[in-house]
Amino acid sequence: MIRVKFENVTKYYTLLNTGGIKNFILNFFREYKKIKSNRFLALENISFEVKDKDVVGIIGKNGAGKSTTLGLIAGVLKPTSGRVEVNGRIAPLLELGAGFHPDLTGRENVILNGILLGMTKKEILSKLDSIIEFSELGEFIDQPIRIYSSGMLSRLGFSVAVHTNPDILLIDEVLSVGDFKFQEKSKNKIYEFKEKGKTIIFVSHDIGMVEELCDKVILIHEHKLLYQGDVKKGVELYEQL
Amino acid sequence: MFEYYKDLIIELTKKDIKVRYKNSYLGYFWSLANPLFLALIFYFIFKVVTKVQMKDYTLFLISGLFVWQWINNSIMVSTNLYIANASLIKKVNFPRNFLAVSLVLSEGFNFLISIPVIIGFMLYYHHYPSIKWLIYIPIVLIITGIMIYSLSLLVATINLFFRDMERLVGLLLTFLFYMTPIIYPVSMIPQKYKFVLYLNPFAPFILTWQELFLHNRLDLKYLFISFIYALVALIVSTFIFNKLKYKFAELV
Closest CA of chain B from A193, distance in Å: 21
Residue of A nearest to B98 (CA): A116
ipTM of the assembly?
Answer: 0.82
Q: Which of B8, B91, B244 to mutate to test the interface with A (most CBs of A within 10 A)?
A: B91
Coil, strand or helix: which one is B66? helix
Q: Cα–Cα distance between A64 and A43 in angstroms, integer?
A: 8
Best mean pLDDT range from A98-107, A144-153, B223-232? B223-232
Is A27's pLDDT higher than 80? no
B147: pLDDT strictly greater than 70: yes
Instruction: Kindly report, residue by residue over A58-78, the tens digit of the pLDDT.
Output: 998 888 888 889 989 988 899
Asked, for residue A40, whether it belongs to a domain, the answer is: yes
- Categorize the per-residue pLDDT at B182 as very low, low, confident or very high, splitting at 50, 70 and 90: very high
Over range A170-197, report the average pLDDT: 82
Q: Which residues of chain B does A13 touch, with a Cβ-Cβ cutoff of 8 Å? A: 250
A:B CB pairs within 8 Å: 83
Contact yes or no for A74 and B168 at CB 8 A: no
CATH code at A72?
A: 3.40.50.300
Report the residue from A99, A101, A104 with minimal CB separation from B92.
A99
Residue partners of A141: CB distance under 8 A and separation at least 6:
A105, A106, A107, A110, A132, A135
Number of domains chain A contains:
1
Please measure the distance between the N-terminal and C-terminal CA atoms of chain A and give it in whole angstroms.
33
**Could you tell me which of B54, B8, B4, B76 has the C-alpha nearest to residue B186?**
B54
| pLDDT tier, A35 (very low <50, low <70, confident <90, very high otherwise) | low
Residue A106 · residue A142 · CB < 8 Å: yes
Share of chain B above pLDDT 70, in %: 100
Q: Is A100 exposed, middle or buried (0-12, 13-18, 19+ CB in 10 A)?
A: buried
Note the Cα B11 to chain centre separation in Å.
21
- Structural domain harbouring A28: 2-88+204-240
Beta-strand relationship, A199-203 and A168-172: parallel
B52 pLDDT band (50/70/90 cuts)?
A: confident
Q: Is residue A199 part of a domain?
A: no
Report, as an integer, the average pLDDT of B56-68.
91
What distance in Å separates residue B91's CA from the closest CA in chain A?
A: 6
Q: Cα–Cα distance between A171 and B238 in angstroms, integer?
A: 33
Residues 6+ apart with CB under 8 A from A238: A59, A60, A207, A217, A219
pLDDT value for B91: 84
A163: three-class secondary structure by DSSP? coil
Q: Which of A12, A113, A116 to mutate to test the interface with B (most CBs of B within 10 A)?
A: A116
Confidence of residue A36 (pLDDT cuts 50, 70, 90): low
pLDDT of residue A175: 66
Nearest CA in chain B to A100: B88
User: According to the per-residue pLDDT averaged within each range, which of A135-144, A192-201, B221-230 is highest?
Assistant: B221-230
pLDDT band at A26 (very low <50, low <70, confident <90, very high): confident
**DSSP string of B92-153, one letter each residue:** --S-THHHHHHHHHHHHHHHHTTHHHHHHHHHHTT----TTHHHHHHHHHHHHHHHHHHHHH
SS (H, E, C) A96-160: CCCCCCCCCEHHHHHHHHHHHCCCCHHHHHHHHHHHHHHHCCHHHHHCEHHHCCHHHHHHHHHHH
Asked if A92 lies within 8 A of B15 by C-beta distance, the reply is: no
What pLDDT shows up at residue A16? 67
Picking from B85, B94, B165, the nearest residue to A21 by CB comes out as B165
Please check whether residue A213 is in contact with residue A190, taking contact to mean a CB–CB distance below 8 angstroms: yes
Question: Parallel, antiparallel, or unpaired: how do β-strands A90-93 and A216-221 relate?
Answer: unpaired
Q: Specify the pLDDT at position B204.
A: 95
Name which residue leads in pLDDT, B44 or A173.
B44
Mean pLDDT score, A108-114: 92
pLDDT single digits (tens) B204-229: 999 999 999 999 999 999 999 999 99
| Contacts for A229-234: CB closer than 8 Å, 24+ residues apart | A231/A57, A234/A57, A234/A59
Average pLDDT, chain B: 90
Tally Cβ neighbours within 10 Å of residue B246.
14
Range of weakest confidence among A171-180, B19-28, B66-75, B97-106: A171-180
d(CA B97, CA A105): 25
Nearest CA in chain A to B158: A21
Are the Cβ atoms of A22 and B164 closer than 8 angstroms? Answer: yes
Residue A16 lies in a domain: yes
User: Cβ of A104 and B15 within 8 Å?
Assistant: yes
Which chain A residues are within 8 Å of B89, Cβ to Cβ? 76
Closest B-chain CA to A104: B19
CA distance linking residue A107 with residue A121, whole number of Å? 13
Please check whether residue A228 lies inside any domain of the structure.
yes
Q: Which residues of A touch B8 (CB under 8 A)?
A: 115-116
Residue A42 resides in a domain = yes
pLDDT for B163 equals 83
Quote the mean pLDDT of chain A. 86
pLDDT, position B199: 87
Nearby residues of B205 by Cβ (< 8 Å), 6 or more positions away: B67, B71, B143, B144, B147, B222, B226, B229
pLDDT score of B95 more than 60: yes
CA A240 to chain B, closest CA, distance in angstroms equals 31
Q: In A1-79, which residue ranges form alpha helices assigned H by DSSP?
A: 20-26, 28-37, 66-74
Q: Which of A16, A90, A95 is the closest to B251 by Cβ? A: A16
pLDDT at A83 over 90: yes
Residue A101 lies in a domain: no
- The 10s digit of each residue's pLDDT in A226-238 is 999 898 898 888 8
Strand, helix or coil for residue B54: coil
Task: Using the predicted structure, report yes or no on whether residue A22 has a pLDDT greater than 70.
Answer: no
Taking Cα atoms as reference points, which of B248, B164, B51 lies closest to residue A14?
B248
pLDDT at position B109, please? 92
- The whole-number pLDDT of residue A81 equals 93
Residue A71 Cα, gap to closest chain B Cα (Å): 7
The pLDDT-based confidence of B23 (bands split at 50, 70, 90) is confident
Instruction: Kindly list the residues from chain A whose CB atom is less than 8 angstroms away from the CB atom of residue B3.
Output: 120, 122
Q: What percent of chain A has pLDDT over 90?
A: 36
Q: What does chain B come to in residues? A: 252
What values do phi and psi take at A157, rounded to 5?
-60, -45
pLDDT surpasses 60 at B201: yes
Q: Which of B174, B220, B225 lies closest to B197, judged by CA?
A: B225
Angle at B44 (CA atoms; ends B39, B49), nearest 5 degrees: 145
Q: Is residue A235 part of a domain?
A: yes
Per-residue pLDDT, A24:
67
Q: What is the DSSP string of B159-194?
A: HHH-TTHHHHHHHHHHHHHHHSTTSS-GGGS-GGGT
Q: Is residue A160 assigned to a domain?
A: no
What residues have CB less than 8 Å from B168, skipping those under 6 apart? A21
Q: Cβ A74–B87 below 8 Å, yes or no?
A: no
